[in-house]
């Protein structure tokens, strides 16, 4: 007998931004695996089992969850945001790819969610209204020179750039160096958005020009969005400023 592995995304944190599809998967599952702050977002019943873990153990966690699902349990793997964006869906696929044959017959149900950059963008206007890219700044997962090469090519291409995992205690200098590199390619006036905990009670959204962007404004819960040369700021009376990237390309980056 084989069970089911649900891989769900809670969205940015507010229950109002979690889809009904994810809520249904959570209601159907028996055991829950994930980084503990994401599990804390769910209102689990007393009969549902919670196995919280630290942030760094994605592949181990996926293997344990697959073992349980292969044994017939309905298991739920929980990510914040969307499970497919720098989160658990890739770790689960990798575990299936490299694991024992029986993991390949586990029913896998992945439910998408609102990923951080979309939640941050919605709070400030439409910075992702034109072509954009998403880069994880963690050099635990790829060499730093690959990251800097991608940042440079993305800026040269005119993409708006969303940075995930911008900073942590173990990686304190990477975001500052990324800003430094981007200042050599992009105008100093390009808006940078620090979007922390979008949609949650402790939300904090700040905008500043790239020339003044200070990496200390970011923490682990921050998604940093760097505009393109086309990105504009709209000042409004009695309302917060808007930041948007026009749908039409006017050629400002040429």
List the interface residues with a second copy, window 89-148 (CB under 8 A). 89-94, 96-97, 101, 104-108, 110-115, 118-119, 121-123, 125-136, 141-143, 146
Instruction: Tell which positions 184-203 bind a second copy, by CB under 8 A.
Output: none
Angle between helix 58-70 and 88-98 (nearest 10): 60
Site residues for a second copy, 54-93, by CB under 8 A, read 58, 82-87, 89-93
**Judged by CB, which is closer to a second copy: 50, or 152?**
152
- Categorise residue 165: left if φ over 0, alpha if ψ from -120 to 50, beta otherwise: left
For 208-243, give one letter per residue: b (16+ CB within 10 A) or e: eebeebebebbeebbbbbbbbbbbebeeeeeeeeeb
Smallest gap from Cβ 94 to a second copy, in A, equals 6
The smaller minimum CB distance to a second copy, of residues 40 and 94, is found at: 94
Q: What distance in Å separates the CA atoms of residue 163 and residue 222, rounded to the nearest whole number?
A: 9
- Say whether residue 3 binds a second copy (CB under 8 A): no
What lies within 8 Å, CB to CB, of 30 at 6+ separation is 47, 48, 49, 73, 74, 75
C-beta of 118 vs 213, nearer to a second copy: 118
Of residues 49 and 57, the one with the C-beta less far from a second copy: 57
Residue 226 C-beta: closest distance to a second copy, Å: 14
Number of H helices, E strands in the chain: 7, 13
The binder of a second copy chosen from 52, 181, 205, 242 (CB under 8 A): 242
Size of residue set near a second copy by CB under 8 A: 81
205 binds a second copy (CB under 8 A): no
CB of 140 to a second copy, least distance (A): 9
In this structure, what token pair is assigned to residue 142?
A: 């790829």
83 DSSP β-pair partners: none
In the complex, minimum distance from the CB of residue 80 to a second copy, in angstroms, rounded to a whole number: 14
Q: Is 61 left (phi over 0), alpha (psi -120 to 50) or beta?
A: alpha
Please tell me whether residue 158 binds a second copy under the rule CB under 8 A. Answer: yes
Kindly write out the interface string for residues 12-51 of this chain, putting x where it contacts a second copy by CB under 8 A and - elsewhere.
x-xxxxxxxx--x---------------------------
Smallest gap from residue 73 Cβ to a second copy (A): 17
Which residue in 130, 119, 162, 102 sits closest to 252, CA to CA? 130
Q: List 171's β-bridge partners, or say none.
A: 168
Shortest distance (Å) from residue 109 CB to a second copy: 9
Q: Kindly report the backbone phi and psi dihedral angles of residue 33, in degrees, each rounded to the nearest multiple of 5, phi listed first.
A: -125, 140
State the minimum distance, in angstroms, from the CB of residue 132 to a second copy.
6
């Amino acid at each position: 007998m084989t069970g089911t592995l649900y891989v769900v995304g809670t969205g940015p944190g507010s229950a109002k931004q979690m889809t009904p599809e994810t809520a249904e998967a959570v209601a159907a599952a028996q055991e829950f695996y994930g980084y503990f702050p994401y599990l804390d977002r769910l209102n689990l019943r007393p009969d549902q089992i919670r196995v919280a873990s630290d942030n760094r153990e994605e592949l181990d966690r996926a293997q344990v969850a697959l073992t349980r699902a292969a044994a017939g349990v309905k298991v739920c793997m929980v990510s914040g945001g969307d499970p497919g964006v720098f989160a658990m869906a890739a770790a689960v696929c990798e575990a299936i790819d490299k694991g024992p044959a029986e993991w390949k017959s586990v029913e896998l149900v992945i439910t998408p969610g609102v990923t951080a950059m979309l939640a941050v963008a919605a709070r400030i206007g439409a910075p992702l209204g034109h072509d954009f890219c998403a880069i994880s700044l963690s050099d635990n997962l790829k060499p730093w020179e690959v990251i800097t090469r991608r940042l440079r090519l993305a800026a040269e291409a005119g993409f708006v750039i969303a940075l995930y995992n911008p900073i942590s205690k173990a990686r304190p200098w990477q975001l500052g160096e990324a800003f430094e590199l981007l200042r050599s390619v992009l105008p100093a006036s390009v808006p940078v958005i620090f979007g922390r905990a979008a949609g949650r009670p402790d939300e904090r959204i700040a905008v500043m020009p790239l020339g003044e962007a200070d990496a200390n404004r970011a923490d682990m819960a921050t998604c940093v969005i760097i505009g393109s040369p086309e990105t504009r700021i709209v000042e409004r009376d009695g309302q917060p400023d808007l930041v948007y990237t026009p749908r039409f390309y006017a050629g400002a980056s040429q």
